[in-house]
């Protein structure tokens, strides 16, 4: 039998998940226990649990079942022997990391060559991932926010070296707290470069503190974007703006509110009108935190862990991807959902590899330019305006990854006309090499293709 995180059993349950793995639920306490589990086949399940009880292990139980189900993974989309290296890599990666499902899209000179789904969008129903299934894209969202800012620059509505908080004068620090005077010197360019002065490693990431921040300001839980900004206006910066790089989700939250003030629209509405629609992207939207609000065509997200809910009632323990953080407040730094096909459409449209360029040549040069000193000037790669950049010849490789509980993503635009995306509905905790394995694996599959098909799957969509 199969069961999911949301299922409640009214009587004691003892379920076999295959081999020697079984699960028992105590009817009185409603706690689950994994009784035994041993390796059942080469490359199969390897951990052994004995009477490890607690409902927070339920997420792990589900992933263990998913791992067992991965023995025969479904694939969807056009299969092509010429592109078999991608299939082999993807199926191997899902099985090695026990990830339920994912999708890959590859373009060549603006034409969609490969669009495939692998594994399960939803394990319980064994619903397969489709090539156009929607996934949370996590921090790849920053590339869309960057494009929106640069579009406003192209429209003459702001400049990259404008003081960022000059656009947010209606937002004030908490009563009794004086803003750090350096905040007034932070520029839009510096925020795009992650040199604005916030360092979550030196303190904390406020985008993952929506309950504490709302309670500190006496606001409704969970805190929204502007509440988080007001809270941070009462804290000192971690370093002088422009002096060093420190990746900041909060900085891109600020950019989203600047887009709203300058455009006169909601952040997502401006991105939709100025970026998505011209690129032919119609299904992308800001994702929702709760499972009950999932969008049609969206995958289910899996994590080994649970978390305390950031939505009332706050004493609930929930699956980490569903209420363990406030996705809606992450809109401009990590909140979008979209398909692998949507992401390669965007990457090809931004500078006109496919269709009319979204941005001017001047903005594209700015996007890919190295930040100026005092930052290091001799590194082979750097963070441009919303993208990681590695110059190659007369062009560069651009890329961005994304990661949230239940989500792993990667978008790459190469210097020689290719683009690829991989999106997954799990982030195995403790799998520190997963991101590197995805990047290396996609480059390896690319290198193993002998002859590229002459087709454009965009024409079929």
Q: Please state, in angstroms and rounded to a whole number, the distance separating the CA atoms of residues 12 and 2.
A: 15
Confidence at 236, pLDDT banded by 50, 70, 90: very high
Q: Please state, in angstroms and rounded to a whole number, the distance separating the CA atoms of residues 156 and 148.
A: 13
230 vs 124, 171, 446, CA distance in Å? 42, 6, 46
| Confidence (pLDDT) at 68 | 54
Using the CB atoms, write b or e for 228-257: b if 16+ within 10 Å: bbbbbbbbebbbebbeebbebbbbbbbbbb
Using the CB atoms, write b or e for 369-393: b if 16+ within 10 Å: bbbeeebeeeeeebbbbbbbbeeee
CB 78 within 8 A of CB 86: no
Confidence at 429, pLDDT banded by 50, 70, 90: confident
Which residue matches tokens 């707290």? 177
Task: Please compute the mean of the pLDDT values over residues 421-430 and round it to a whole number.
Answer: 94
Nearest Cα to Cα of residue 230 among 171, 170, 168? 171
- Concatenate the DSSP letters of all residues of 350-362 into one string: TTTSSSS-SS-HH
Q: What is the pLDDT of residues 57-109, one digit of tens each?
A: 555 555 555 545 545 899 999 999 999 999 999 999 999 999 999 999 999 99
Task: Report domain extents, the chain.
Answer: 13-70, 74-142+273-304+328-460, 157-264
% the chain with pLDDT above 90: 81
CB 307 within 8 A of CB 324: yes
Q: Please state, in angstroms and rounded to a whole number, the distance separating the CA atoms of residues 208 and 110.
A: 37
CB 294 within 8 A of CB 127: no
CB 324 within 8 A of CB 306: yes
Is residue 224 within a helix (H) or strand (E), and if so which, with residue range? Answer: none
Report the CATH fold assignment for 157-264. Answer: Methane Monooxygenase Hydroxylase; Chain G, domain 1 (1.20.58)
The model carries a pTM of 0.86
Confidence at 244, pLDDT banded by 50, 70, 90: very high
The answer to whether 74-142+273-304+328-460 and 157-264 have equal CATH topology is: no
Q: What is the pLDDT of residues 365-420, one digit of tens each?
A: 999 999 987 887 889 999 999 999 999 999 999 999 999 999 999 999 999 999 99
Which residue matches tokens 């060549």? 108
Cα Rg of the chain, angstroms: 23
Q: Please state, in angstroms and rounded to a whole number, the distance separating the CA atoms of residues 168 and 190.
A: 16
Whether the per-residue pLDDT at 36 is higher than 50: the answer is no
| Confidence (pLDDT) at 51 | 41
C-alpha distance across the termini of the chain, in Å: 37
CB 42 within 8 A of CB 15: no
DSSP 8-state assignment for residue 336: E
Whether the per-residue pLDDT at 46 is higher than 70: the answer is no
Q: Please state, in angstroms and rounded to a whole number, the distance separating the CA atoms of residues 256 and 250.
A: 10
- Which is more confident, 159 or 37? 159
Tokens matching residue 378: 């001799």
What's the chain's average pLDDT?
88
Q: Given this structure, which CATH class describes domain 74-142+273-304+328-460?
A: alpha beta
């Amino acid at each position: 039998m199969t069961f999911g995180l949301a299922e409640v059993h009214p009587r004691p349950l003892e379920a076999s998940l295959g081999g020697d793995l079984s699960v028992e639920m105590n009817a009185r306490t409603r706690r689950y226990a994994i009784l035994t589990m041993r390796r059942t086949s080469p490359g199969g399940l390897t951990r052994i649990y004995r009477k490890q009880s607690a409902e927070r292990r339920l997420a792990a139980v589900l992933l263990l079942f998913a791992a067992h189900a991965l023995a025969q993974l479904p694939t969807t989309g056009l299969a092509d022997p010429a592109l078999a290296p991608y299939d082999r890599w993807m199926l191997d990666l899902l099985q090695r990391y026990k990830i339920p499902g994912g999708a890959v899209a590859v373009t060549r000179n603006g034409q969609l060559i490969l669009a495939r789904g692998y594994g399960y969008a939803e394990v319980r129903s064994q619903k397969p991932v489709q090539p156009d299934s929607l996934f949370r894209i996590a921090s790849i969202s920053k590339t869309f926010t960057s494009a929106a800012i640069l579009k406003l620059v192209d429209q003459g509505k702001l400049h990259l070296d404008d003081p960022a908080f000059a656009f947010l004068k209606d937002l004030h620090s908490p009563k009794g707290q004086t803003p750090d005077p350096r905040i007034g010197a932070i520029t839009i360019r510096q925020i795009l470069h992650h040199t604005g002065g916030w360092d979550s490693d030196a303190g904390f990431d406020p985008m993952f503190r929506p309950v504490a921040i709302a309670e500190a300001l006496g606001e409704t839980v969970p805190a929204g974007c502007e509440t988080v900004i007001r809270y941070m206006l009462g804290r000192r910066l971690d370093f002088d703006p422009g002096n060093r790089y420190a990746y900041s989700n909060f900085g891109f939250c600020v950019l989203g509110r600047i887009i709203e003030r300058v455009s006169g629209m909601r952040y997502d509405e401006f991105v939709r009108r100025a970026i998505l629609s011209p690129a032919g992207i119609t299904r992308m939207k800001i994702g929702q935190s709760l499972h009950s609000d999932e969008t049609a065509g969206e995958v289910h997200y899996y994590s080994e862990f649970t978390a305390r809910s950031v939505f009332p009632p706050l004493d609930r323990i929930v699956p980490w991807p569903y209420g363990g953080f406030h996705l809606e407040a992450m809109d401009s730094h990590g909140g979008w959902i979209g398909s692998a096909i949507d992401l390669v459409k965007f990457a090809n449209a931004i500078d006109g590899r496919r269709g009319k360029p979204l941005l001017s040549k001047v903005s594209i040069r700015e996007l890919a330019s190295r930040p100026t000193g005092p930052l290091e000037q001799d590194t082979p790669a750097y963070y441009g305006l919303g993208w990681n950049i590695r110059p190659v010849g007369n062009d560069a490789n651009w890329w961005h990854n994304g990661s949230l509980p239940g989500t792993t993503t990667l978008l790459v635009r190469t210097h020689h006309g290719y683009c690829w995306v991989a999106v997954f509905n799990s982030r195995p905790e403790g799998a520190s090499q997963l991101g590197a394995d995805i990047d290396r694996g996609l480059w390896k599959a690319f290198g193993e293709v002998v002859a590229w098909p002459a087709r454009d799957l965009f024409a079929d969509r």
